[in-house]
């Protein structure tokens, strides 16, 4: 299968390498001009729409709009190509993309993922898929290479993007929950390492708790997932929440705390730096 990437950051490089290893014809266009062994470098993003599948992994709504929507690449796409947006984007923009693809007659699937670059390198991503079941069936061989499991989340791409935003919101809440728990336990003589050993082996053994408890225990908050991207995803969650007309108080609190961490100069740290903000240790990580 001819698969093209638009965007080749850490996640994209891991995915592309796996697809090449599994016999796919892989090409890529990047804004930075970054190249990868055995991946054909494309000169324009429009060339990506000449194959079978386009995997877009750009940073946000604005990047996708400037690279794909504004130049009207969809109107020149090859017949039968499937465009898969793996980025974490807003629900509103996902719906806009659905309408634009329908107008252009281009298949559109959302497949944001759960997992960091090391998970992507192992082909163990959790793929959150939204779109026409027929399109998802055509992508099965691609998703089998990239992920451990594909979760079908309905016929509308916006559902998958909403689910990804919700997952990232919950991870941020888990980070804050651990930080606040450490405030309570350390004040009463319990070492944070001992407390984390307790919770990881009883109530909270998920990967999010495992990964970010290590950062909090070691007081090291190197990326990872940059705090600026975490703030972006919490903003997307806030916007999606506002559209429902319902109050989400935990989200409001964690969005504010992440903003405080970035305002304190930690935008390039891992987003778990918000724990250091709560613990009063942020200045030590400048």
Task: Give the per-residue pLDDT at 33.
Answer: 84
Query: How many domains would you assign to the chain?
Result: 2
Task: Give the per-residue pLDDT at 286.
Answer: 61
Task: Give the per-residue pLDDT at 224.
Answer: 84
Which residue, of 109, 129, 155, is where some domain finishes? 155
Which residue, of 155, 182, 201, is where some domain finishes? 155
**Would you call 119 helix, strand, or coil by DSSP?**
helix
The tens digit of pLDDT for each residue in 168-184 reads 999 999 999 999 999 99
- The reply to whether 42 and 64 lie within a common domain is yes
- The reply to whether 175 and 280 lie within a common domain is yes
- The reply to whether 130 and 10 lie within a common domain is yes
- Sequence-distant contacts of 236-243: CB under 8 A, at least 24 apart: 236/88, 236/89, 236/90, 236/91, 236/165, 237/165, 237/166, 237/168, 237/169, 239/90, 239/91, 239/92, 240/90, 240/91, 240/92, 240/162, 240/165, 243/91, 243/92
Which residue, of 93, 126, 155, is where some domain finishes? 155
Catalytic residue among 2, 148, 164, 269: 164
Q: Domain containing 59: what range? A: 2-155
Average pLDDT along the chain: 96
- The reply to whether 65 and 112 lie within a common domain is yes
- The reply to whether 95 and 180 lie within a common domain is no
- The reply to whether 120 and 184 lie within a common domain is no
Mean pLDDT score, 88-107: 98
Q: What is the pTM of this model?
A: 0.94
Are 80 and 57 spatial neighbours (Cβ–Cβ below 8 Å)?
no
Q: Which range is least confidently modeled, 32-41, 74-83, 142-151, 175-184?
A: 32-41
- The reply to whether 201 and 141 lie within a common domain is no
Question: Is residue 164 annotated as a catalytic residue, yes or no?
Answer: yes
For the purposes of burial, counting CB atoms within 10 Å of the CB of 26, is it exposed (0-12), middle (13-18) or buried (19 or more)?
buried
Task: Give the per-residue pLDDT at 78.
Answer: 96
């Amino acid at each position: 299968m001819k698969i093209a990437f638009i965007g080749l950051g850490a996640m994209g490089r891991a995915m592309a390498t796996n697809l090449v290893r599994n016999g796919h014809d892989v090409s890529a266009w990047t804004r930075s001009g970054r190249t990868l062994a055995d991946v054909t470098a494309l000169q324009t993003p429009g060339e990506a729409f000449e194959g079978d599948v386009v995997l877009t992994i750009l940073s946000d709504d604005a990047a996708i709009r400037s690279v794909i929507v504004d130049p009207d690449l969809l109107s020149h796409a090859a017949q039968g190509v499937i465009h898969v947006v793996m980025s974490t984007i807003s629900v509103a923009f996902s719906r806009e993309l659905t309408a634009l693809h329908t107008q252009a007659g281009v298949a559109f699937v959302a497949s944001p993922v759960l997992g960091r670059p090391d998970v992507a390198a192992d082909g163990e991503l959790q793929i959150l898929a939204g779109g026409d079941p027929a399109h998802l069936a055509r992508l099965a061989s691609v998703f089998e290479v990239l992920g451990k499991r594909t979760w079908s989340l309905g016929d509308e791409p916006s559902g998958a993007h909403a689910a990804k935003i919700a997952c990232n919101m919950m991870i941020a809440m888990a980070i804050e929950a651990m930080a606040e728990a450490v405030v309570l336990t350390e004040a009463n003589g319990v070492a944070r390492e001992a407390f984390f050993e307790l919770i990881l082996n009883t109530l909270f053994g998920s990967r999010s708790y495992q990964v970010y408890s290590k950062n909090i225990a070691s007081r090291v908050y190197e990326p990872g997932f940059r705090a600026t991207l975490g703030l972006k995803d919490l903003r997307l969650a806030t916007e999606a929440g506002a559209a429902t007309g319902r109050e989400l108080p935990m989200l409001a609190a964690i969005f504010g705390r992440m903003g405080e961490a970035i305002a304190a100069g930690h935008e390039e740290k891992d987003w778990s730096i918000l724990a250091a903000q709560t613990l009063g240790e942020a200045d030590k990580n400048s």
